[in-house]
């Protein structure tokens, strides 16, 4: 996508912010269409917002509960995809623990597929909602310094944000201990800092990430107390950033591990607004897909 395509999608999302703030929140864009949300990993924000987004656009939305599905009896991803495809959905929204699984599934079905997060690879709609939140609060993204801090190694949010923010002209910094930085990440056009105080210097946006303990599998696991000391965001460290710096976190948060409650709930935090923008951005993405559905 070009930066113009991305800006157009964000503009469309703005329309859906306005619609979602009205008493009557419904549009007819996906009336008669079927959307299946297929989440192989836990989710609060992404699954709920895709469900609300589909419903607000008039689709019939089905949430597949993987925990009580035949996946638990050993059915493969491809057989699950073929089974759902036989029910003739128009859109399948997928989250999976394996990088590349969403792409694989998309090649096995005859409908549109949306990536709701695949392993440590990508989470594109998260990056779009983050961009919308930044643009609404700063008026632009071009030229801003965005510091992404924390467990970069396991973060699909970081990867998608690096790609999108670079495309929109931001300067992206990564702040993490070397053990939580992927080898070769500097090739993605980012500046690397292992000292959080230096990395925060002059930042316009501070984006904190969760320590993804569930993906560490016996590898180096930092103690939460020590991690917070060096890489947790509190007001003292935040003072290194610009005076009007804004704080983001994709959620779920581990309070007292990567961020203090005082910062998470403070005046500079955009964390609740990010959640609201998640519904609007997902409406815009589903709307864009609707233009390409058969018989649209």
Active site residues: 45-46, 73, 95, 123
Sequence-distant (6+) residues with CB within 8 A of 65 are: none
**Minimum distance, C-beta of residue 206 to ligand CP, in the bound complex (Å):** 17
**Minimum distance, C-beta of residue 47 to ligand CP, in the bound complex (Å):** 6
Q: How many CB atoms lie within 10 A of CB 183?
A: 8
Per CB under 6 A, the list member of 46, 112, 133, 145 interacting with ligand CP is 46
Ligand-binding site membership of 73 (annotated): yes
Ligand-binding site membership of 199 (annotated): no
Ligand-binding site membership of 143 (annotated): no
Ligand-binding site membership of 229 (annotated): no
**Minimum distance, C-beta of residue 252 to ligand CP, in the bound complex (Å):** 6
Tokens coding 77: 């991803």
**Minimum distance, C-beta of residue 264 to ligand CP, in the bound complex (Å):** 14
What is the footprint of ligand CP within residues 118-177 (CB under 6 A)? 126
Nearer to ligand CP, 45 or 240 (CB): 45
Nearer to ligand CP, 45 or 171 (CB): 45
Ligand-binding site membership of 202 (annotated): no
Nearer to ligand CP, 112 or 115 (CB): 115
Nearer to ligand CP, 193 or 285 (CB): 285
**Which candidate, 103, 107, 93, 88, places its Cα nearest to that of 57?**
93
Tokens coding 189: 């056009």
Separation CA 199–CA 45 (nearest Å): 28
Separation CA 7–CA 240 (nearest Å): 30
**Minimum distance, C-beta of residue 63 to ligand CP, in the bound complex (Å):** 13
- Sign of the CA dihedral running 106, 127, 18, 43: positive
Question: Which one of 43-51, 58-66, 227-235, 262-270 is the stretch in contact with ligand CP (CB under 6 A)?
Answer: 43-51
Ligand-binding site membership of 291 (annotated): no
With contacts defined by CB under 6 A, how many residues of the chain interact with ligand CP? Answer: 9
Question: Which one of 53-61, 72-80, 178-186, 248-256 is the stretch in contact with ligand CP (CB under 6 A)?
Answer: 248-256
Nearer to ligand CP, 192 or 275 (CB): 275
Per CB under 6 A, the list member of 61, 250, 257, 259 interacting with ligand CP is 250
Per CB under 6 A, the list member of 11, 44, 65, 110 interacting with ligand CP is 44
Q: Do the Cβ atoms of 80 and 71 come closer than 8 Å?
A: yes
**Minimum distance, C-beta of residue 129 to ligand CP, in the bound complex (Å):** 9
Annotated binding-site residues for carbamoyl phosphate read: 45-46, 95, 123, 126, 251-252
| Contact residues: ligand CP, CB under 6 A | 43-46, 117, 126, 250-252
Bind-site residues for L-aspartate = 73, 156, 210
């Amino acid at each position: 996508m070009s930066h113009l395509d991305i800006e157009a999608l964000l503009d469309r999302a703005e329309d859906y912010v306005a619609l979602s703030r009205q008493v009557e929140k419904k549009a007819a864009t996906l009336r008669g269409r079927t959307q299946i949300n297929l989440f192989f990993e836990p989710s609060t924000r992404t699954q709920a917002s895709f469900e609300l987004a589909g419903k607000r656009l008039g689709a019939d939305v089905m949430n597949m509960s993987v925990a009580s599905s035949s996946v638990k009896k050993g059915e493969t991803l491809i057989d699950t995809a073929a089974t759902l495809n036989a029910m003739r959905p128009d859109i399948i929204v997928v989250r999976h623990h394996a990088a590349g699984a969403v792409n694989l599934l998309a090649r096995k079905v005859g409908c549109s597929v949306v990536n709701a997060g695949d392993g440590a690879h990508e989470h594109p709609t998260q990056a779009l909602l983050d961009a919308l939140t930044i643009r609404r609060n700063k008026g632009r993204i071009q030229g801003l310094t965005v510091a992404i801090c924390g467990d970069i190694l396991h973060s699909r949010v970081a990867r998608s944000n690096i790609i999108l923010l670079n495309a929109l002209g931001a300067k992206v910094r990564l702040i993490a201990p070397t053990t939580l930085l992927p080898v070769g990440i500097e090739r993605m056009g980012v500046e690397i800092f292992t000292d959080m105080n230096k990395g925060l210097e002059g930042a316009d946006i501070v984006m904190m990430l969760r320590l993804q303990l569930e993906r560490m599998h016996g590898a180096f696991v930092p103690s939460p107390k020590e991690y917070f000391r060096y890489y947790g965001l509190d007001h003292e460290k935040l003072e290194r950033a610009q005076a009007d710096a804004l704080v983001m976190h994709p959620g779920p948060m581990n309070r007292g591990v990567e961020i203090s409650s005082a910062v998470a709930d403070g005046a500079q935090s955009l964390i609740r607004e990010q959640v609201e923008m998640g519904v609007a951005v997902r409406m815009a993405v589903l709307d864009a897909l609707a233009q390409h559905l058969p018989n649209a």
